[in-house]
Amino acid sequence: MRILHILNHTRRLNGNVHAAVDLACAQARLGHQVYLASGGGDFNGLLQSQGIETLTIDHERKPAKLLKSLFGLYRQARALDIEVIHAHMMTSAVLAFPVCKLKGIPLVTTVHNEFEKSATLMGLGTRVIAVSDVVGASMRRRGVKASKLKVVLNGTIGSSRFLERVEEPKALRSPSILFVGGLHPRKGLPDLIHAFDVVHEKFPAAHLYIVGNGPFRETYMQLAASLKCAAAVTFAGSVSDPYPYMRAADIFVLPSHADPAPLVLSEAREAQCAVIGAAVDGIPQLLEHGEAGMLVPPRNPQALANAIIELLDAPEDIKVWKQKSQFKIEKLTIERVARETLDVYRSALPSGLARLAG
């Protein structure tokens, strides 16, 4: 199948970029001819090394530039005889929609960030992929017909982004609690910092590691510095792959307020972390509804502190939850994501073409 993915950029900034890059590379490994159109970025070298041709399509939201990009996308789709276009961001979907109509080919969209109002525009797709059951339910409430909505749960195991992964665990102070994510309110990091202040009072040897960057970094550093636990909190900044931190951590915590289907949970489970996650959006599904990780109420630092203390009080339970992280772990492979996505493409093709694509 000749597949064209389109997204705003390929920079290491967003989970939806990582998901799109992982999917494109996995589809190429399965023998499909894959192209990716974007404004460019960090992952273009990786994509090209995986046999994916990268095309430049400017996504700047200015009428003249968008019109130029629309015609450029149409020319590329026609010249390459593309069979399906897969859009991963709102601007990409708006650009691809008229191109797909003119060429008579399906547009598939993936709703990565359902919490954004603009996610409604992803309903332009012939098929709309939701990255978790909760996202699917939300899109149905927004008017997307169930007949064209498909759920393909996120997964990262086997990602080409990790081909040169360092397996050696990071040297961390134990007991260690780890957070990995963007430093912005949606991820709920202040809840964890306040929870850790409670934990640290009972376990003064405990240490909190915060991996990631974002616009609220200084705010969160000031918050940590104002608490008694300040000396036991490390802001590690951005890293290309948090896996060595995950391999070393005693407990991985994701205290999000909103998170459609965070890739980091797939990565943490692959690293065999004992996981605690907020029971919100797609987190319960990625943790097998409590079978593969502990769930706590969101926006509740005391409940989060209690869960961490419960594990630190009984270190053998940390080992148990590390083992539980492997429950149905095979569901989180990128190959499964790729194959299910290809099935969505085939369902969108005219019946004759669908049979050939199969």
Tell me the average pLDDT across 234-255: 96
CA geometry: angle 151, 155, 159, nearest 5 deg: 135
Q: What is the greatest pairwise CA distance in the chain?
A: 67
Examine the pLDDT at 41 and tell me if it is beyond 80.
Answer: yes
Q: Which pLDDT score is estimated for 167?
A: 87
Domains of the chain with bracketed CATH = 2-155+333-357 (3.40.50.2000), 176-332 (3.40.50.2000)
CA dist 17 → 115, 138, 202, 337 (Å): 17, 22, 40, 15
Of 14 and 154, which is predicted with more confidence?
154
104, two tokens: 């008579």
- Strand positions, DSSP E, 125-244: 127-130, 149-151, 176-180, 207-211, 233-237
For all residues of the chain together, what is the average pLDDT?
A: 96
- pLDDT per residue over 144-175, tens digit each? 999 999 999 999 999 999 998 988 999 999 99
Tell me the average pLDDT across 275-282: 98
